[in-house]
Structure 1
Amino acid sequence: MPTVTVQPTGVSPADVLAVARGDAQVLLADSTVAAMAASRAIVDGIERAGRPVYGVSTGFGALANTSIAPERRSELQHALIRSHAAGVGAPMPREVVRAMMLLRARSLALGHSGVRPVVAQALVDLLNHDITPWVPEHGSLGASGDLAPLAHCAMVLLGEGWVLDKSGARHDGGEALRRAGLRPLELAAKEGLALINGTDGMLGMLLLAIHDAAHLFTMADVTAALGIEAMLGSDRPFRPELHSIRPHPGQAVSAANIHRLLQSSSIMDSHRDDLAHAVQDAYSMRCAPQVAGAARDTLSFAESVAGRELVSVVDNPVVLPDGRVESTGNFHGAPLGFAADFLAIAAAEVGAIAERRVDRLLDVCRSRELPAFLSPDPGVNSGLMIAQYTAAGIVAENRRLASPASVDSVPTSGMQEDHVSMGWAAARKLRTVLDNLTSLLAVELLAAVRGLQLRAPLTPSPAGRAAVETVARFAGEPGPDIFLAPAMEAARAVVAGRDLRAAIESEVGPLA
């Protein structure tokens, strides 16, 4: 089993994926333990000196001016966790919770939180024993970070709260610790606050979404090329010299992908020199690289934001090496909220233009002599008519989800936290948009393959042949109507998976 080692410099995006989805084991580097111990010594010194410091000897939020007696400071930390574990709703997916716990351990490991190494080790123990806290979907405003979701994780460290099993059932957190041979954690001053003050939930979701979006944007180029080929489109708009004069990097990448995918096709050759053929294809065909490319550039921006956040100290207050403990606003999730919202907008448009190509493929007046709704016997049979309805409904939902969450601040905590990021909500809806994009590309894959099959005896490109072979296994050949829902589910799996992409790349070379 692979192992991820948490260093004082943090972890990488690949580390997060390995732990969240690959169940990698986690270790704390010796240098990480030393960094946390040095930071904790500063907090212990402050306690002995009796200095008033937020979160160490005071209450929280609007209660920041309330002094806490030394003998009640451990109680304060436990009470903080219990009161902040106030989420409601369905549980977050296991992969999100695992990413969040690793990232919180990473944050503590940076050595600016003033916690004992045993606190970070307790999070690592949950990961390594496959204990997943039950984290409700609602509760975080991305204000002082993801307070409620992280508090639900911390509850399990205390031997309380709930855990989620792989069947989706909920169990007692204390019992889960006992079965794993783990002991509940007794928190010292500041440690409860350090467990919940940060952007780890929204960052974890953003990192998972970035990984998924990178693959889906490539698959969007694939399904676009298949649809263009089936509609007897032109490959001329995708030539590199036409994109070098508008030098957006993502656009050049998508154009190069589509151009390569359309080569060595007798379908394309059949009309290449036909003077009666359309001089210009519709925007949904001709402008595919401009839309998908802009989405790629938005993805690059999100990657840069997530990369910076991975090396950021997002706790509050922070413990500095010179002994100062300073309040900051680094927990505010605006950078991540903006990035998630921007990426959701981009992904929604990649899906919207794909649906327009589907509609064109199904329309007998615009598909260049393909039968209505891609049925050889339209009338008795409806072909893919209702698959396009489904796609249209998903596009409409994505438009609603593309409305930014990060502009929707609601003040809290007696106006102490009077502007919040809504980054958690932005990241959650981004995941839904990407899941919807998978469905939209699946519909385009089905429609494009049907179109290619109906162009026989002309043979498609190598990419088209690979797609036809893959889809025919579960959708068959053009003919009488079939039960479409299973075929659409199978097409979703093909789009989300890597097998079709690998088969195409074995023929045409790597796609970016």
Structure 2
Amino acid sequence: MTVSKTTPHTNATLRIWRHLQELKENKKSIVLDGNNLDIASIVAVARHGVKPRISDDEQLAKQLELSVKALTDYLSNDYVVYGVNTGFGGSADTRTKKVLDLQIHLLQHTQSAIITSTDKDLGSNSEREPSHVMPPSWVRGAIVARANQNLRGHSAVRINVLQSLVDLLHHDITPMVPLRGTISASGDLMPMSYIAGAIAGNPDVFVQVGKGKSARVLPASEALKESGLSPSGLGPKEALGLINGTAPSVAVASLVLYDAQRLALLSQLLTAFTAECLGGNVEWSHPFIHETRPHTGQIEAASNIRRFLSGSKLVHGLDSRKRTGDGLWQDRYSTRTSPQWIGPYLEDLLLAQHQLEVELNSTSDNPLVNTTPREGASGGDVYSGGNFQAVVVTSAMDKTRLALQMIGRMLWSQVSELIGPTTNNGLEANLNASDRENYTMKGIDVNMSAYMSELAALAHPVSSHVMSAEMHNQGINSLALISARRTLEAVDLVAHMSACHMYVSSQAVDIRANHRRFLSNFCEQLKDTTSNGILHGLGLTNTQTEALAASLFPVIESTWYHWNNNTWKDRIPQVVQAVMLPVTEFLAQHDQNFSGAALLRFKNQFEKTLSATANQMFYPNPTIPPAEVVTQLGAGSAQLYSWVRAKLHIPLHGGIRDDPLYNAKEGLPTDSKKTIGSWVSLIYESLLHGDMMDTVLDGLDTGRSLPAECFPEGD
């Protein structure tokens, strides 16, 4: 199941994943030099505790020294430099000679957001009040991003100050940074000011030291002292150089995009899974269709879905075509047009990734120091500009959030169609596998609509809500970090929906495979021409018995799938009733003189055999084993199904008999019983915070998959 050169989005997703694995396994290290930071490195530092280091390249150190010296030389001419001997923003018409105090003024007015006492007391939030501080992973990502941007040597920040940033990571010191209060105009001034305050040793800037149960919150001054680190004094432009940039926005956006890329790939796997659950006609994935409309993303999505379906025994339209038959001939839009639906957004996500990777290795400060000597002078020059304006991050995030909304809308439709009896091609309403009335997936149907409504509300562009700020100096501003935060919410919602989808699809494909097994078994009994055969006793020859069986089976199959509003038991009388007319007509056509009493005996025998066969194969008796189901699935969905059934040990849900409260009420064991939400939660955790996607990506990368042997014997 390896990828091809025609799958740029998949290849980009795998590239990030491979690099992240190498970093986590210490096969590669993160060396900061201003030019080579990538999304995988941000994820590795932010989420996995990988420690970066500053390059020991002498030329890099020299460039940083030149930057500091160029600014010093420039100032010696009594030139005006914004933020160094002027006020800030709309107050830039003021002047000062106290350049070191000015940097503290900058931190003072930007360290103005809200952090509560509950935020600082890690063990006291039993009421689960919403946090007012950023997750530590965001802050770690911002630290490494800012160190890398400043290492480009355009900001007049000394290497020892940048080393102080990296030292925080090496000592597990994470500044507490307020969640709200930045408009990402002059960069993310407020968030970075708390990080700068931490390395400066501000006694009223707080940091988290350590992780997990051992984590403590201390004033920055105490944490530095305890760790043997010295506070960094800040030179004439160093506070400005540290905080006047896009690092928090691009760091959070990088984490978001990493998750979004994986979810976009997962959505294609889930689409293949849906097609199998529905027993679809997947000729819509044929390359010819997409070559005639050659959008890159559309071609890739179709190619991926077709590859994920490879080997499936549950769909038509792969190796062979279905050219005759009854029923809905085309699959519905949520699967049939999925390449056209997903495709454009794969292209958008690739552009967003490019934008963020460029930004990670860009100078986003102001003013900028050019160390190239000016004509007729020995020093460099200083330019005021607007590289801190983070609209490139806003653009990437608004695109990503819209892509997530479109993916979520497709997943919502697929799940709705799987649960609904009028659209799921013969599966029980609410995917009820029980022999009694149950509402198994009805709650998930409602959940999905709730998630989708929230996701749709988030899709609105953040960029259209810009408000002028700071004496109207920041008349336009990017709101990049807000956009990244909203997109992270969208990621979480799509993860919720994907977890629901996997749970529903695993249930649906079990039911589908079990129905097929039952019908196949009953068909063999129907064709039996011996005295044990169902049609024995009608007085037919072997040839006539075979002919009648062949004519009856389509009637049995179509009737069985048609009566799907309630339980599998409720289908049986409908099938019995449906076969009586064609049996009677067949007997009449073949001059069989058959009494009404004999027909009644046949009807009773037919019903008895049909019921007995069904009882043996449907819940509450053992249904089709997962190890048998997985052999019928395509290469992609087999991995998802195996993960749910074999790795997470999530069983087919049998309705009220699997409810923990019902079992407790009946005095039955509850150890293996969970609410539906608890089962879905296991998938969600494994998807977003576990190693499920790593296994899936490894399968894509190497062609390996989870085989049927991964199921315990007899499972």
The bucket for the TM-score relative to the shorter chain is over 0.9
CA gap of 1:227–1:507, structure 2 versus 1, over 3 A, is farther
1:476 corresponds in structure 2 to: 651
The answer as to 2:518 corresponding to 1:326 is: no
1:16 corresponds in structure 2 to: 42
1:38 Cα shift?
0.5
CA gap of 1:503–1:465, structure 2 versus 1, over 3 A, is farther
Residues 420-435 of structure 1 correspond to what in structure 2 (within 5 A)? 420-435=477-492
1:180 corresponds in structure 2 to: 227
1:504 Cα shift?
5.5
Residues 330-409 of structure 1 correspond to what in structure 2 (within 5 A)? 330-377=387-434, 380-409=437-466
Mapped to 1, the partners of 2:62 and 2:172 lie a distance apart of 26
The answer as to 2:297 corresponding to 1:250 is: yes
Q: Please tell me whether Structure 1 or Structure 2 has the larger radius of gyration of its CA atoms.
A: 2
2:359 corresponds in structure 1 to: 309
SS in 1 for 2:30: strand
Mapped to 2, the partners of 1:169 and 1:233 lie a distance apart of 55
CA contact (8 A) 1:112 1:320 kept: yes
1:126 Cα shift?
0.8
CA contact (8 A) 1:467 1:500 kept: no
1:455 corresponds in structure 2 to: 512
1:36 corresponds in structure 2 to: 64
Mapped to 2, the partners of 1:201 and 1:426 lie a distance apart of 12
The answer as to 2:124 corresponding to 1:73 is: no
Mapped to 2, the partners of 1:79 and 1:51 lie a distance apart of 21
1:49 corresponds in structure 2 to: 77
2:615 corresponds in structure 1 to: none
349, 360, 369: which one aligns with 1:299: 349
CA contact (8 A) 1:97 1:135 kept: yes
Residues 482-501 of structure 1 correspond to what in structure 2 (within 5 A)? 482=659, 483-496=675-688, 497-498=692-693, 501=696
Mapped to 2, the partners of 1:254 and 1:412 lie a distance apart of 43
468, 473, 496: which one aligns with 1:416: 473
CA contact (8 A) 2:113 2:178 kept: yes
1:507 Cα shift?
9.5
Mapped to 1, the partners of 2:418 and 2:502 lie a distance apart of 11
Mapped to 2, the partners of 1:19 and 1:140 lie a distance apart of 23
CA contact (8 A) 2:29 2:52 kept: yes
SS in 1 for 2:207: strand
CA contact (8 A) 2:275 2:315 kept: no
1:125 Cα shift?
0.9
Deviation string, structure 1 residues 153-194 (Cα, Å, up to 9, x no partner): 111011120113534764321111111111111111111111
- What is the TM-score of this pair, normalised by structure 1? 0.94
Mapped to 1, the partners of 2:638 and 2:158 lie a distance apart of 59
Residues 38-187 of structure 1 correspond to what in structure 2 (within 5 A)? 38-69=66-97, 72-88=98-114, 90-160=132-202, 161-165=205-209, 166-167=211-212, 170-187=217-234
Mapped to 2, the partners of 1:499 and 1:189 lie a distance apart of 46
1:284 corresponds in structure 2 to: 334
1:123 Cα shift?
0.6
- One-letter amino acid matched to 1:125: D
Deviation string, structure 1 residues 225-283 (Cα, Å, up to 9, x no partner): 11111011121001111111222212111111111222322222599455113222111
CA contact (8 A) 1:388 1:443 kept: no
- One-letter amino acid matched to 1:241: F
Mapped to 1, the partners of 2:676 and 2:69 lie a distance apart of 64
Mapped to 1, the partners of 2:653 and 2:359 lie a distance apart of 50
CA contact (8 A) 2:312 2:633 kept: yes
CA gap of 1:10–1:79, structure 2 versus 1, over 3 A, is farther
CA gap of 1:374–1:55, structure 2 versus 1, over 3 A, is same
Corresponding residue pairs, total = 508
Gaps of 5+ in 1: none
- One-letter amino acid matched to 2:223: A
1:341 Cα shift?
0.6
Gaps of 5+ in 2: 1-25, 115-130, 374-379, 517-628, 660-674, 706-715
- One-letter amino acid matched to 1:451: A
1:214 Cα shift?
1.5
Deviation string, structure 1 residues 439-485 (Cα, Å, up to 9, x no partner): 11111111111111002244431444443332234431241244111
- One-letter amino acid matched to 1:488: V
SS in 1 for 2:132: strand
CA contact (8 A) 1:453 1:468 kept: no
Range moving further from structure 2, 469-478 or 206-215: 469-478
Range moving further from structure 2, 482-491 or 463-472: 463-472
- One-letter amino acid matched to 1:5: V
SS in 1 for 2:140: helix
Mapped to 2, the partners of 1:9 and 1:470 lie a distance apart of 39
1:124 Cα shift?
1.0
2:260 corresponds in structure 1 to: 213
Deviation string, structure 1 residues 346-365 (Cα, Å, up to 9, x no partner): 11110111011101111111
CA contact (8 A) 1:133 1:156 kept: yes
What's the RMSD between the two structures over aligned residues? 2.1
CA contact (8 A) 1:452 1:464 kept: no
CA contact (8 A) 2:84 2:102 kept: no
CA contact (8 A) 1:449 1:464 kept: no
SS in 1 for 2:467: coil
Mapped to 2, the partners of 1:378 and 1:83 lie a distance apart of 68
CA gap of 1:11–1:466, structure 2 versus 1, over 3 A, is closer
SS in 2 for 1:163: strand
Mapped to 1, the partners of 2:53 and 2:451 lie a distance apart of 42
Deviation string, structure 1 residues 334-376 (Cα, Å, up to 9, x no partner): 1110110111011111011101110111111111110010012
SS in 2 for 1:137: coil
1:24 Cα shift?
2.1
CA contact (8 A) 1:474 1:490 kept: no
CA gap of 1:412–1:104, structure 2 versus 1, over 3 A, is same
CA contact (8 A) 1:6 1:32 kept: no
Mapped to 2, the partners of 1:507 and 1:83 lie a distance apart of 53
Mapped to 1, the partners of 2:704 and 2:291 lie a distance apart of 22
CA gap of 1:410–1:269, structure 2 versus 1, over 3 A, is closer
Mapped to 1, the partners of 2:702 and 2:167 lie a distance apart of 45
Mapped to 1, the partners of 2:504 and 2:384 lie a distance apart of 56
Mapped to 1, the partners of 2:697 and 2:89 lie a distance apart of 52
- One-letter amino acid matched to 1:471: V
1:379 Cα shift?
6.6
CA gap of 1:417–1:506, structure 2 versus 1, over 3 A, is closer
Mapped to 1, the partners of 2:340 and 2:64 lie a distance apart of 48
CA contact (8 A) 2:295 2:343 kept: yes
Deviation string, structure 1 residues 32-77 (Cα, Å, up to 9, x no partner): 22211110001111333322211111111111111112xx211110
SS in 1 for 2:462: coil
- What is the TM-score of this pair, normalised by structure 2? 0.68
Mapped to 2, the partners of 1:465 and 1:318 lie a distance apart of 54
CA gap of 1:13–1:456, structure 2 versus 1, over 3 A, is closer
